[in-house]
Amino acid sequence: MSTETGPEVTRGGELPAAEHAHVQHPTKNERYGLELIAIYKFVKTGVLVLAGLGALGLINRGVAAAANTWLERLALLQGHRLTTAFAAHALPYLGAATNRRLILIAIGAFLYATLYLVEGVGLWRCRRWAEYLTVGATASFLPIEILALVHRVTLPRAVTLAFNIIAVVFLAWQIRVGRESESESA
């Protein structure tokens, strides 16, 4: 009496190499592109974690007062346009921040950091699902980034928008090429 149970799955939950030998892994250049986007996602994760921790730190009135003093000193600097502009822009927001708003900012930062971390790990490991996730998540923010850039053109906004468009186009191309190679080998 012989029963077939289907392909045997390894401990890691993946099919043995013989079962998915037809699936092509990315080329060296394609892998480099995935890793570059993953590194970008990891950097964004780090920045968002720091922003969330900073927001939580500002709940402590001593920390908030120290940050306010530091920003006021930055605003008084002569000859440093960037730091003066940053401080002048940040001071009103810091003064108006409530504990509830700071907690919401921290939660939002941590949630986005989690999304970017998942995207980064998946792309680093060349997972197809990560390509789909990153295309969807990144493309969904493009209209907001475009509106922000139209509202006020800055170099960081322009660079971020350009990089995100390049990432979406590259990953969409990766998905298309992957689909074509899978359908050819099936």
Looking at residue 19, what DSSP letter applies? G
Report the alpha-carbon distance of residue 51 to residue 38 in Å, rounded: 20
pLDDT at 88: 65
Q: For residue 129, with 0-12 CB atoms within 10 Å meaning exposed, 13-18 middle and 19 or more buried, which class applies?
A: exposed
pTM for the model stands at: 0.72
pLDDT 10s per residue in the chain (186 long)?
444 454 454 444 454 544 444 445 678 888 999 999 999 999 999 999 998 888 888 787 777 777 767 766 666 665 566 556 666 666 677 667 788 988 998 999 999 999 999 999 999 999 999 999 999 999 999 999 999 999 999 998 999 999 999 999 999 999 998 777 776 766
pLDDT at 94: 66
